[in-house]
Structure 1
Amino acid sequence: MSRRFKAVFFDLDGTLRINYPSPTEAFILFLRQKGFEIDDKTSQQVKIWAHYYWGNDTLVNRDKERFTPERFWLNYSELLLKQAGILSDNGLAYEVRDWFENFYEPTVKLPENGWEVLQALQADGYHLGLISNRPEPLADVVLELGLDGIFEFTLAAGEIGHWKPDPTIFQVALSRYQDLPPEACVYVGDNLYADGHGAARAGLVPVIFDPDGLFDECPYWCIRHMNELLDFLSQ
């Protein structure tokens, strides 16, 4: 019996390349160290909003056009503070940026069981690809993660000028194959808005990697651990 899915494509940052702590977790940690009381509900709210912001290419592109790079990140810090319920002058936003630029040094690695899952998928004959909203090609980061030889292709949004959730980036990826319909392809990503909605618009089947349990009402299949992907594919 032929299987339903023939290809599994992955997002990069937050999915296969994990920062410990993540930028939003580090932001919450910074605020708590400054004496602000940030409860778990607010922390989750900040994380969800950050996903929404980065998953909305219209918002991001608007702000990049409005601001210099330095002012863009300052504005983003101000928006994060607002989501955390902290209303103040931009002095605190400057402190946030200074902290990230000078003290934020996350550990970078694959998610737990990530390597084993990728090996299993490759051994099972799935087409594997990497699709990211990064501006630059992905060859170097693939080598840094020890994933050379795993993917049949990598595609960065900056290479083609189309950014998730624009379905064009997925369509460009699919154009590399003959007779591979989008409904036979799974896209695994951590961002409901960019990865989930973007893949769905292109006809792929989204799977949301949600280790923090942010998306309780997710319209797509959600997994908390990467090895749950194998269970989904075997259904």
Structure 2
Amino acid sequence: MRCTVCGCDILPNRDSCQNCGTRIIEMTGLNQTQPSYSNSYDNSYNNGFNGNVMTAKKDMSMGKKVLILLLALVLGVAVGFGYWYYHNVSTHTIREEGFTIELPRSLEKTNTTDYAALSETGSVQANGKYANMDTDFQYMILDYSSSLAGTSADAITEEFFVSFMKSSFKQQFEDSFNEVYSGGNKLKITYHSSSGEDVYNYTMCKKSGSKFYWFVFGCKADEKDFYDPKFEKWASTIHIN
């Protein structure tokens, strides 16, 4: 090391020039000639720090991606459940000729045989059907005003009409007919349908004047226990206008 004041070479391990006495820390321009001892350490420190920061950023980025995926999954499940609930659980009011009923939105109106057109006596005034892949609701309105001439409409009760329908079912389905319940204006039966399936029907009659409203809820026989409480609930919402 050379003294910047007198130009003398400074001996090793001295803190000042042995010739002029100037302290090394007071010599101007010495820092430009001094070797740098801190670069390696500083670089190592900075590299380690920067590496940690980058790792932390990557971890945060991965965490955000996982959070976004979880939120998307939750949103997808919520939307799917909402769609299922809207179509299979939530109900809406269906207004037909002479009555209203609350049914799940999944039950859509379908084409049925026009019994009114086929009725020779003209007693079948209207009919219709709502169905999905698992269950259905059908109705038929019969008007006996013309055939009850001279007879009081009160003579034919809902219970009498149900008994009449039960006899018709026994004759139609023969050995496959099975009565599950019969009481008041309700009749529950199972039978072997023409499509080859065992079917369960929850039926109910409501009377208004000379008109009889025949309501039928149906499903597969092996799903009877699941749907029967639902049929009870849906039937309770029927109102004759």
Same-fold call, TM cutoff 0.5: no
> Which one has the largest radius of gyration?
2
Structure of greater relative contact order (alpha carbons < 8 Å, 6+ residues apart): 1
TM-score, normalised to structure 1's length? 0.21
TM-score (norm 2): 0.21
Richer in helix (by share): 1
Name the one with the larger strand percent: 2
